[in-house]
Amino acid sequence: MSDLRPFVAGLPKAELHVHHVGSASPRIVADLAARHPDSKVPADPEALREFFTFTDFAHFIEVYLAVVDVIRTPKDVRHLTYEVARDMARQNIRYAELTVTPFSSTRRGIPEAAFMEAIEDARKAAESELGVVLRWCFDIPGEAGLESAEETVRLALEHRPEGLVSFGLGGPEIGVPRPQFKPYFDRAIEAGLHSVPHAGETTGPETIWDALTDLRAERIGHGTSATQDPKLLAHLAERQIPLEVCPTSNIATRAVATLDEHPIKEMVAAGCLVTINSDDPPMFGSDLNNEYVVAARLLDLDERGVAELAKNAVRASFLDEAGKARLSAEIDAYTSDWLARR
């Protein structure tokens, strides 16, 4: 198989499962840590790489929350958001639905209105200056319990920013059953937000069923364990409920033992709508370009196959129909031009 990295690097892309804080590169985190020298996070980028080495999912959450602690002011929020968009632009990401956890910032004292103003100011600047269209998914940090669910849905509805399109649920799955969050998802859905919870990453397929039944999930974050239940896999394929697959993340958090054992091949073989995402890319030593190269190897894809995978993300996105048509056409034009020059 030819080296697909140059093709992937220039390919226009959309990303649907990527976290706001988790997208902070060592460069960005070092900037933020230097502003707050009392934090646990090292300001040296080399030391940060060691800091971002995880033993398991629980350790990942611990490190993630330490990074959250260096985001203490609206200026920090704005800097993080814009710089994440800058890193996306370098990868030719044209559209991203960024998962934001406002509860983590507002409970640390950042005023609610100032937080919303900071992300929106960065979003508008990213689109006009970098050509990256950002939309928000506000998610409940599951480890913080129902208090965080109530606060997240309140923030989403009372301070609804222009870029907000969806409502999610992240954090640990073990010991955090999905059905308890039903009332909060019901309120978000009634307000017009899309439902995109994490499910089946570190737990079994029953968690995915709960997300579909109780939370009315329109997409599934991860869905790694779906292949353990043939009935579920058939249901996802028949309904074309998109799966937000994050291969390197699943290895880093020990959700999957090795890349060669990743269930993405079974998902595609069953006819599921699979999208490729990076989750918390710098923390896992990856980026979206790398995830596409990994997926291409696992699925034995050529350039056209990779382009179709990129179009899956556009199809599964909450971008308007005109925007979807434009981005899909851009992917097609890029691919045709690339193959004509080869």
Q: Cα(204)–Cα(64) distance, rounded to whole angstroms?
A: 24
Task: Give the pLDDT confidence of 156-175 residue by residue, as tens digits.
Answer: 999 999 999 999 999 999 99
For the ranges 28-37, 60-69, 289-298, which has the lowest average pLDDT? 60-69
Bigger pLDDT: 187 vs 282 = 187
Mean pLDDT across the stretch 256-272?
Answer: 96
In CATH, what class is 5-341? alpha beta
Q: Cα(12)–Cα(337) distance, rounded to whole angstroms?
A: 13
Neighbours of 69 (CB within 10 A): 16
Q: Cα(254)–Cα(248) distance, rounded to whole angstroms?
A: 10
Task: Give the pLDDT confidence of 80-111 residue by residue, as tens digits.
Answer: 999 999 999 999 999 999 999 999 999 999 99
Instruction: Tell me: pLDDT of 1 over 70.
Output: no
The answer to whether the beta carbons of residues 257 and 233 sit under 8 Å apart is: no
pTM assigned to the model: 0.94
The DSSP secondary structure of 220-283, one letter per residue, reads: EEE-GGGGG-HHHHHHHHHHT--EEE-HHHHHHTTSSS-GGG-THHHHHHTT--EEE--BSGGG
Domain boundaries in the chain?
5-341
Q: Is 10 helix (H, G, I), strand (E, B) or coil?
A: helix
User: Of all residues in the chain, what percent carry a pLDDT higher than 90?
Assistant: 83
Instruction: Tell me: pLDDT of 181 over 90.
Output: yes
pLDDT for the residue 200: 96
pLDDT for the residue 152: 98
- 336: confidence class by pLDDT, cuts 50, 70, 90: very high
Catalytic residues: 201
pLDDT for the residue 40: 82
- 42: confidence class by pLDDT, cuts 50, 70, 90: confident
